[in-house]
Structure 1
Amino acid sequence: MRLGVLDVGSNTVHLLVVDAHRGGHPNPMSSTKAVLRLAEEIDDTGKMTKKGADSLTSTVEDFTRIAKASGCEQVMAFATSAVRDATNTDEVLSQVKKASGLTVDVLEGVDEARLTSLAVRRWYGWSAGRILTFDIGGGSLELTSGVDEEPEVALSLPLGAGRLTREWLPGDPPSKRHVSVLRDWLDAELKQPAKDLRAAGKPDLSVGSSKTFRSLARLTGAAPSGAGPRVRRTLTVSGLRQLIAFISRMTAADRADLEGVSSDRASQIVAGALVAEAAMRATGVDTLDICPWALREGVILRRLDSEPAGVLVSVG
């Protein structure tokens, strides 16, 4: 069947269209993105602004039409940190549904972690043993550990790259002092979560998923996306340290010229690198394998397993 997955994130809204069947490898057919930066559209009262809500509404309308034109039998729509954190979430999503006919499900952070873990497990298989998974989004960091498709430990922390950039790294480029202070704060914040993950057992494989980790791996020498998803890519702590020393002295405009860094993420890649470094340091991980699958693939796989992970709406 042809499925559409509409992911409303903190930075972008992303429609992925795939051909998929139970027991098969989801085959991507098209990918459409819009940069809305919804996390920056939360006002002082915690509400999403009218501008943010209207931008989201028109984008979902457009993407629903694209899904229909692409022959999607169903669309699974979900929202993560930015929409989840807004105090007027119900009002915003009601507006979206009224205009587009699409119900957007709000995923809790722990559910994000579990679905990402499912995608990683399916990619690497049972022979990988215990997998420790890291996923950095715009608003949150997800961490899991487990030997099964349902992880034994699933954590979601408000340590996303966009959130930390806004709260901790003013200036372009950020000052050495701000970078140092954020490093120390992250070490303190990750101390207990790392202890919980270690208590589950020593990992046989440590994995980073999400665009942030793919970008960091590319910046430290991993193969480009054009080499295909099955080429092994890794990220090391030592490589991250060298990268942070380099990119933290650059402006966002200069970072956007680096291969592997999109213009919409250039401003937050320093915070993303600091979170990745701190998470690896806290858990004692020296090297991460980079998984091409993440949350969206997890949603698809759960749907194919006939276990709902979002709201399914026919657009036919």
Structure 2
Amino acid sequence: MRLGVLDVGSNTVHLLVVDAHPGARPLPAYSHKAELRLAELLDARGAISEAGVERLVATVQEALQVAEDKGVESVLPFATSAVREASNGEEVLRRVAAETEVELQVLSGEDEARLTFLAARRWLGWSAGRLLVLDIGGGSLEIAYGLDEDPDAAVSLPLGAGRLTAGDLPGDPPEAEDVRTLRRRVRAEIAKVVSEFTRYGTPDRVVGTSKTFRQLARIAGAARSAEGLYVQRELTRKKLEEWVPRLAAMSAQERGTLPGVSEGRSRQLLAGALVAEAAMDLFGVETLEICPWALREGVILRRLDHLP
């Protein structure tokens, strides 16, 4: 069957169309994205602005038309931290439902972490052993650890690259003091939860998912996306530590010229790098693997698990 996953995230609204059957690997058929950066469209009250809501409604309507054009039988719509944490989130959900007939399922931060972990587990297989999975989104950082398909520990922290850029790094390039202040805050937040994971022992493999980790790995020398999903890609803490001060000295336009960095994400890359560096350091990770599957694939896999 042909499924569509409609992901209303903090950075993008992404429709992923896949051909999927129980017991088989979901095969991507089409991808449609629109960059809204909802995490950056919050007003002083923490609400998504009227303009932001109108753009969201229009984007969902466009995605539904694309899904119909591509022969999608069923759409799985969900929203993450930007809608979940907006002070007018319920109003936004009602507006989207009234104008598009799409009822977005709002995932909790823990749900995001668990579904992303499921995707990484299925991609890597049982032989990967105990996994530590890190995912940096636009609005939050998800961390999960476990041996099975359901992790033993899963948390979500408000340390998304888009959120931190909008709230803590206003300059372009940012002021050195702003970077130092954000670095301290990020590390303090992550340090609060480290013990929840380390008590389970040392992971056999550490995995990074999400666009942020893929871009950081690429600028650090990993293979291009054009070389395919099955090429192993890694990010070392040593390389990341070398890149952080370089990214801090660059403007968003300069970061956008780096290999693998999209113009829409270039401004967020420094904040994402600070979060990635802090997580790898505090969890004692020297090298992590890049996994091409993440939250959207986890949603698809969970749906397939429940099909008759």
Q: Do they superpose with TM above 0.5?
A: yes
What residue is the counterpart of 1:230 in the other structure?
Answer: 230
User: Superposed, which structure 2 residues align to 1:234-253 within 5 Å?
Assistant: 234-253=234-253
Alpha-carbon separation, structure 1, partners of 2:3 and 2:51: 29
Bigger mean CA deviation after superposition, 256-265 or 110-119: 256-265
Alpha-carbon separation, structure 1, partners of 2:305 and 2:44: 41
What residue is the counterpart of 1:288 in the other structure?
Answer: 288
What residue is the counterpart of 2:215 in the other structure?
Answer: 215
What residue is the counterpart of 1:73 in the other structure?
Answer: 73
User: Superposed, which structure 2 residues align to 1:141-180 within 5 Å?
Assistant: 141-180=141-180
Alpha-carbon separation, structure 2, partners of 1:237 and 1:177: 23
What amino acid maps onto 2:142 in structure 1? E
User: Superposed, which structure 2 residues align to 1:1-316 within 5 Å?
Assistant: 1-306=1-306
Whether contact under 8 Å (2:119, 2:295) holds in the other structure is yes
- CA root-mean-square deviation: 1.0
Alpha-carbon separation, structure 1, partners of 2:101 and 2:180: 47
C-alpha offsets along residues 50-78 of structure 1, whole Å, 9 cap, x if unaligned? 10111000110111111111111100000
1:231 to partner: Cα distance: 0.3
Alpha-carbon separation, structure 2, partners of 1:226 and 1:47: 38
C-alpha offsets along residues 94-146 of structure 1, whole Å, 9 cap, x if unaligned? 11112222111111100000000000000000111100000000110000000
Unaligned runs of 5+ in 2: none
TM normalised by structure 2 equals 0.98
SS state at 2:90 partner: helix
SS state at 2:191 partner: helix
1:37 to partner: Cα distance: 1.4
SS state at 1:172 partner: coil
What amino acid maps onto 2:288 in structure 1? L
Structure 1 runs (4+) greater than 4 angstroms displaced: none
Alpha-carbon separation, structure 2, partners of 1:90 and 1:190: 29
Alpha-carbon separation, structure 2, partners of 1:68 and 1:205: 40
Alpha-carbon separation, structure 1, partners of 2:122 and 2:252: 35
1:93 to partner: Cα distance: 1.5
SS state at 2:184 partner: helix
SS state at 2:264 partner: coil
Alpha-carbon separation, structure 2, partners of 1:88 and 1:178: 29
Whether contact under 8 Å (2:16, 2:30) holds in the other structure is yes
Alpha-carbon separation, structure 2, partners of 1:172 and 1:44: 22
Alpha-carbon separation, structure 2, partners of 1:13 and 1:41: 14
Alpha-carbon separation, structure 2, partners of 1:82 and 1:132: 25
Q: Structure 1 residues 111, 267: closer, same or farther in 2, change over 3 A?
A: same
Whether contact under 8 Å (2:3, 2:18) holds in the other structure is yes
Bigger mean CA deviation after superposition, 80-89 or 286-295: 80-89
Alpha-carbon separation, structure 2, partners of 1:24 and 1:208: 24
Alpha-carbon separation, structure 2, partners of 1:265 and 1:31: 18
Bigger mean CA deviation after superposition, 39-48 or 81-90: 39-48
Alpha-carbon separation, structure 2, partners of 1:42 and 1:168: 14
What amino acid maps onto 1:270 in structure 2? L
Alpha-carbon separation, structure 1, partners of 2:58 and 2:179: 37
Which of the pair has the greater relative contact order for Cα pairs under 8 Å at 6+ separation?
1
Alpha-carbon separation, structure 2, partners of 1:149 and 1:222: 28
1:39 to partner: Cα distance: 1.4
Alpha-carbon separation, structure 2, partners of 1:254 and 1:55: 28
Alpha-carbon separation, structure 1, partners of 2:192 and 2:40: 29
1:163 to partner: Cα distance: 1.1
1:32 to partner: Cα distance: 0.5
SS state at 1:155 partner: strand
What amino acid maps onto 1:52 in structure 2? G
Whether contact under 8 Å (2:37, 2:162) holds in the other structure is no
SS state at 2:77 partner: strand
Identity between Structure 1 and Structure 2 (%): 56
C-alpha offsets along residues 234-269 of structure 1, whole Å, 9 cap, x if unaligned? 001110011112111110011111111111110010
Alpha-carbon separation, structure 2, partners of 1:265 and 1:90: 28
SS state at 2:149 partner: coil
SS state at 2:113 partner: helix
